[in-house]
Amino acid sequence: MTTFDEREKAFENKFAHDAEMSFRAEARCNKLLGLWAADLLGKSGTEADDYARDVIKADFAEAGHEDVVRKVADDLAGKADADAIRAKRAELLVEAKGQILLEG
């Protein structure tokens, strides 16, 4: 294997790793957002966990995170608007990335 082939393979491995980490961070962020919203809705325990799973599933409706924002905004009608949800999501994305890095 030539040096070029080794570098290409290393780049492909890094790209795959970064993509996986990004996916995991987004899913974790959506879970945290779901738990936050569940708390605002007065849900706890299993009910809150189920709601968080529904928020994670909502992310598969379309590319990007607006599908999640829309779902949570609809569910939280009157308790939080879309801008507040986007701000909370941005805050939770940083937290989610930190959690994943600490897990190794």
* % of the chain exceeding 90 in pLDDT: 65
Contact predicate 4/29, CB 8 Å: no
- What CATH number corresponds to the domain at position 86? 1.10.790.20
Q: Which of 9-13, 48-52, 96-100 has the lowest mean pLDDT?
A: 9-13
Res. 29 pLDDT band, cuts 50 70 90: very high
Which two structure tokens, joined as six digits, stand for 31? 């879970």
**Cα(50)–Cα(12) distance, integer angstroms:** 36
Residue 98 has phi, psi (to 5 degrees) of -60, -40
Q: How far is CA 2 from the centre of its chain?
A: 39
Taking residues 30-45, report their average pLDDT: 96
How far, in Å, CA of 37 to CA of 17, rounded?
Answer: 30
Using the predicted structure, report yes or no on whether residue 10 has a pLDDT greater than 80: no
pLDDT tens readout for residues 53-85 = 999 999 888 888 899 999 999 999 989 999 999
Domain that holds residue 46: 3-103
Per the CB < 8 A criterion, the answer to whether 59 and 67 are in contact is yes
Q: Look at residue 4 in the predicted model and tell me its pLDDT.
A: 67
Domain count across the chain: 1
